[in-house]
Amino acid sequence: MKFSYLVIGGGMVGLATARYLLLADPGASVALVEAKARTCSGNSARSAALYRNLFSSPTSRLLAESSISYYLGFATELGLRPNGYLWCFSASQWAGVAAAAAGLVGQTRAASLLDAAAIGASLRLSDGSGDQAVSQAIFGGRCGSLSAQALGAHYERLFEAGGGIVQRGRSIARLELAPGSVQRFAAAVDTTGKRLEAERFVVATGCWLQDLLGPAGIASGVYPKKRQLFAFRLDDPGWLAAADPSGSERGRSGLPNIILPGGVYLKPIPERRLCVAGLADDLGRPFELPYAPVERAAAEPDYFRAAIEPELRRHFPGLAAQAEPLTIVTAWAGHYDYYWPDRNPVIERISNLVWVGGCSGSGIMKADAIGRLAAAKAVGQAQVSLAQAGPAGEDVAFSVDDLSLRQRRVERESLVI
Ligand SMILES: Cc1cc2nc3c(=O)[nH]c(=O)nc-3n(C[C@H](O)[C@H](O)[C@H](O)COP(=O)(O)OP(=O)(O)OC[C@H]3O[C@@H](n4cnc5c(N)ncnc54)[C@H](O)[C@@H]3O)c2cc1C
């Protein structure tokens, strides 16, 4: 059978794209092929699944805002936790970004500026005067977390219900050109040598993009870089959060996600007595190519001890008083698929093949918009209306080519964590 479209890669981006292909081209036959036994078990399963509309680049903001609007419509199904984001700055950082931050808050729904006193009302931060002491913050009220598994299952269910075919446990080894042609792809050949024919192909293999595109003569510009998360015991949320006036645990269950001035970010899960922490290291952390699809990255507890735990002790005096090291309950690692020049997604086409990736650490929170745009690119639509993407909640017409490589019109995103 020859499909109208074959999507390669069943992570969040591939699933959302496949779902929107069926809507963009009704009547088309769409198949999705995923190397692993289950969809959404690559980097989509390793994310912190945080979402936020706080971004420096207007493009990132549009993609996130419209995706968040969609997710809020399925809040219960997606396990949405709208607990907000507190992005903290030291005095010296703030001096450099104050004007930009005020502008950003003006452009961002449900965002506000907090001074040290307001921050102190919710977090038990050190009041020290060191370089990194928190002096200002931006609070994002339209931020939180969701279940990545539930979101993947949501797109997969809608895709299959619409007649889409999912083939799991089938890894594509190479893309094959049409006989006698150097212009068109005819098939994707799996690791057993079987061919999957299609009119058009969408490659959505995340950090493994270049492994498939490189041998086909295509430079994606997307590079994998390892990122790690550590869940540590939070038996006493009191060291993190100011006591709830009512004295109940309930007040703390609304603890926001936090970005500290040094870049450590925290996702507190007080009801499970856990807190997840991450930090993105750049220098010395290599870009890794090629990166075989079955490989699994391991977290490095030494990295937590050397780079993350000292930051937590510095900022939270309640923890500094504790002599024992924090107990890591579980830790995992994956790879960001970076498009390094501006750290926004790439959606490009060459001949009858579209590739989509470069989500740069925010592919879950932007997946809905990326899926719509990648589907439009594959179908040949130039514009997509992104629902409720604008600062006042208005729909915004987005030119799909703005995310291409050749006609790119994207600002650099500086808030990648
Ligand atoms: C530690 C960490 C924390 C993160 N935290 C967040 C966060 O809080 N919020 C957020 O929005 N984003 C976060 N991200 C980023 C997010 O996980 C990614 O942007 C997103 O998962 C990208 O989705 P994807 O579908 O492109 O990639 P993936 O989910 O990796 O999917 C690609 C799929 O392609 C398959 N594949 C690869 N090669 C082949 C082949 N040859 N044939 C067939 N199938 C193939 C893989 O098996 C995989 O399932 C985080 C990432 C990491 C690593």
Residue in this structure with the two tokens 């922490």, named with its chain if needed = 277
The per-residue pLDDT for 247 is 46
pTM (two decimals): 0.96
Q: Same structural domain for residues 169 and 301?
A: no
Residue 120 Cα, ligand 1 centroid: separation in angstroms?
Answer: 36
- Per-residue confidence (pLDDT) for residue 248, from 0 to 100: 47
Give the distance between the most distant pair of CA atoms in the chain.
75
Q: What's the 363 CA to ligand 1 centre distance in angstroms?
A: 7
Please report the sign of the dihedral spanned by the C-alpha atoms of residue 37, residue 155, residue 23, residue 385: negative
Ligand 1 centroid from CA 132, angstroms: 32
User: Which atom of ligand 1 sits closest to the CA of residue 13?
Assistant: 25
User: What are 162's two structure tokens?
Assistant: 């619409």
- The protein residue whose alpha carbon is closest to atom 2 in ligand 1 is 47
Q: Looking at residue 33, which CATH number applies to its domain? A: 3.50.50.60
| 154 and 136 fall within a common domain | no
Name which residue sits closest to atom 20 of ligand 1, judged by CA: 363
**One domain for residues 316 and 234:** yes
Is residue 100 domain-shared with residue 129, that is, in the same domain?
Answer: yes
Check: CB of residue 48 under 8 Å from CB of residue 252: no
Q: How far is CA 134 from the centre of its chain?
A: 26
Q: What is the pLDDT of residue 67?
A: 98
Q: Comparing C-alpha atoms, which of 51, 73, 76 is closest to residue 64?
A: 51
Tens of pLDDT, residue by residue, the chain (417 residues): 999 999 999 999 999 999 999 999 999 999 999 999 999 999 999 999 999 999 999 999 999 999 999 999 999 999 999 999 999 999 999 988 888 888 889 999 999 999 988 888 888 888 766 778 899 999 999 999 999 999 999 999 999 999 999 999 999 999 999 998 878 999 999 999 999 999 999 999 999 999 999 999 999 999 999 999 999 998 888 888 875 544 444 444 578 999 999 999 999 998 899 999 999 999 999 998 777 655 678 999 999 999 999 999 999 988 877 888 999 999 999 999 999 999 999 999 999 999 999 999 999 999 999 999 999 999 999 999 999 999 999 999 999 999 999 999 999 998 888
Alpha carbon of 43 to ligand 1 centroid (Å) = 3
Domain-located, residue 9: yes
Atom 3 of ligand 1, residue of closest alpha carbon: 47
* 114/158 same-domain check: no
* Terminal-residue alpha carbon distance, the chain: 43
The closest-lying atom of ligand 1 relative to the alpha carbon of residue 145 is 8
Protein residue closest via CA to atom 5 of ligand 1: 47
Question: Where is 151: in which H helix or E strand?
Answer: helix 148-161
Atom of ligand 1 nearest to the CA of 364: 11
| β-pair type (328-338, 274-278) | unpaired
Q: What angle do CA 267, 270, 271 make, to 5 degrees?
A: 125
Residue 330 lies in a domain: yes
Residues 302, 218, single domain; the answer is no
C-alpha 140/C-alpha 120 separation (Å) is 16
Among 32, 47, 51, 304, the mutation site with the greatest number of ligand 1 atoms within 8 A of its Cβ is: 47
Pocket test for ligand 1, best of 12, 34, 43, 65 (most atoms within 8 A of CB): 43
Q: What is the pLDDT of residues 365-374, one digit of tens each?
A: 999 999 999 9
Residue 157 lies in a domain: yes
Centroid of ligand 1 to alpha carbon of 347 (angstroms): 15
d(CA 342, CA 57): 9
CB 153 within 8 A of CB 146: no
Q: Which among 340, 344, 336 has a CA at the least distance from the CA of 408?
A: 344
Which of 300, 209, 308 shows the shortest CA–CA distance to 265? 308
Same domain, 367 and 279: no
Which run of H or of E encompasses 377?
Answer: helix 367-379
- Among residues 287, 311, 338, the one where a domain terminates is 338
Number of folded domains that form the chain? 2
332 and 362 together in one domain: no
Residue at which a domain ends, from 314, 338, 362: 338
Residue 403, exposed/middle/buried by CB under 10 A (0-12, 13-18, 19+)?
buried
Mutate which of 65, 87, 364 for ligand 1 pocket (most atoms within 8 A of beta carbon)? 364
Which CATH number fits the domain that encloses residue 129?
Answer: 3.30.9.10
CA–centroid distance, residue 223 to ligand 1 (Å): 13
SS3 263: coil
**H or E stretch covering 335:** strand 328-338
Of 122, 116, 145, nearest to 261 by C-alpha is: 116
Taking alpha carbons only, the member of 126, 144, 211, 200 closest to residue 172 is: 211
Q: Rounded to an integer, what distance in angstroms lies between the CA atom of residue 294 and that of residue 42?
A: 9
Which of 208, 200, 209, 206 is CA-nearest to residue 351?
A: 200
Q: C-alpha dihedral over 43, 44, 48, 52, to 10 degrees?
A: 120
Residues with CB under 6 A from ligand 1: 8-14, 33-36, 41-44, 46-50, 171-172, 204-206, 208, 212, 227-229, 293, 334-337, 357, 359, 361-365
Evaluate whether residue 62 is within a structural domain.
no
Question: Is 414 a domain residue?
Answer: no
| Residue 251 neighbours by CB distance under 10 Å | 17
Tally of CB atoms within 10 A around 303: 18
Q: What is the pLDDT of residues 24-58, one digit of tens each?
A: 999 999 999 999 999 999 999 999 999 999 999 99
Residue recorded with tokens 């903290």: 88
Phi, psi of 203 (to 5 degrees): -100, 120
Name beta bridge partners: 190: 172
Asked if 267 and 48 count as a contact pair (C-beta separation under 8 A), the reply is yes
Contacts of 250 (CB under 8 A, 6+ apart): 244
The full length of the chain comes to 417
Name the residue range of residue 97's domain. 85-141+224-338
Say whether both 175 and 321 belong to one domain.
no
In terms of domains, do 248 and 316 share one? yes
Of 294, 309, 338, the domain-final residue: 338
Within-domain flag for 320: yes
Pairing of strands 257-259, 328-338: unpaired
The first and second tokens of residue 235, run together, are 């038996």
Residue 323, pLDDT score: 81
- Distance in angstroms (rounded) separating the CA atoms of residues 6 and 201: 5
Indicate whether 359 belongs to any domain. yes
- Is 320 in the same domain as 355? no
Residue with CA nearest ligand 1 atom 16? 363
Does residue 167 lie within any of the structural domains? yes
Task: Specify whether 234 is located in the same domain as 381.
Answer: no
Specify the pLDDT at position 246: 46
